[in-house]
């Protein structure tokens, strides 16, 4: 399914979709699904130990795009069950303590089939993008061929920005975690738009880097178009960026 602007939002109760919006550093991604209260919710890893669930469509300051995931009915059922548990736990006082981490290989196997998170050995946590891909892996859907990923020089600037954000006392990250993130970054980064490409490219097999990266560019073009789309209720020039980071 191709991505659509949020003002065209329409999913059925059995659907699960992906949502992409402009974040603090580039794009930010999460899931949209119908929660137990029969309302559609956006669930995502906002940053360090901050799993958030909020109504979708988002408020007018967060122009976004969405697409239905083209999985089988049984896979969607399993995914939705996991998301309902994650969404319910996100609003519990104890929350879900998922650290923000960048080692994509060590993060494999972060979630069980029912949506329980457990930090794998050697993992420093997840990004918004690997939060999506690892939840899917937990229910038997390996979205991307991580072994095909290549390092890109632009992501060296990204990791520097991430570490600076983690060093802000408001992030709640301690020195040991920040050092683990710095030392654990191999140069490989799965970008939010590359995970989003699954909605366009999924054929039942993991998507390779080249295809995900190329389609990710098209996904970002759609996001830009939707953000610039005239809206009588919103002054686009005054949009506020989300603190969320991909």
pLDDT digits (tens, 9 = 90+) for 54-64: 999 988 667 89
For the chain, which ranges sit under pLDDT 70?
A: 1, 60-61, 93, 230-245
Measured between alpha carbons, how far is 65 from 4 in angstroms, rounded to an integer?
Answer: 5
Compute the 3-state secondary structure of the chain and give helix, strand, coil in percent, each to the nearest 5.
40, 20, 45
Q: How far apart are CA 115 and CA 131, in angstroms?
A: 11
Q: Which residues pair with 200 in a beta bridge?
A: none
The domain ranges of the chain are: 4-234
pLDDT in tens, 188-233: 999 999 999 999 999 999 999 999 999 999 999 999 999 887 654 4
Q: Cα(246)–Cα(236) distance, rounded to whole angstroms?
A: 22
pTM of the model: 0.92
């Amino acid at each position: 399914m191709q991505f659509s602007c949020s003002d065209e939002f329409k999913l059925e109760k059995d659907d699960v979709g992906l949502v992409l919006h402009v974040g603090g550093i580039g794009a930010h991604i999460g899931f949209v699904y119908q929660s137990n209260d029969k309302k559609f919710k956006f669930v995502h890893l906002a940053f360090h130990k901050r799993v958030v669930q909020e109504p979708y469509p988002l408020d007018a300051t967060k122009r976004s795009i969405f697409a239905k995931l083209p999985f089988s009915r049984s896979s969607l059922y399993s995914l939705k069950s996991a998301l309902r548990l994650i969404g319910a736990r996100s609003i519990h006082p104890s929350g879900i303590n998922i650290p923000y981490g960048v080692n994509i290989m060590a993060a494999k196997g972060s979630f069980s089939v029912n949506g329980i998170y457990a930090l794998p050995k050697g993992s420093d946590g997840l990004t918004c993008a690997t939060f999506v891909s690892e939840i899917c892996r937990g229910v038997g859907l390996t979205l991307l061929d991580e072994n095909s990923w290549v390092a890109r020089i632009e992501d060296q600037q990204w990791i520097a920005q991430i570490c600076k954000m983690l060093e802000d006392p408001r992030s709640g990250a301690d020195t040991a975690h920040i050092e683990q993130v710095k030392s654990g970054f191999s140069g490989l980064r799965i970008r939010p738009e590359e995970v989003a490409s699954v909605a366009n490219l999924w054929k039942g097999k993991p998507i390779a880097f080249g295809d995900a990266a190329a389609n990710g560019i098209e996904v970002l073009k759609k996001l830009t178009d939707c953000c610039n789309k005239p809206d009588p209720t919103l002054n686009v020039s005054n949009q506020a960026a989300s603190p969320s980071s991909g």
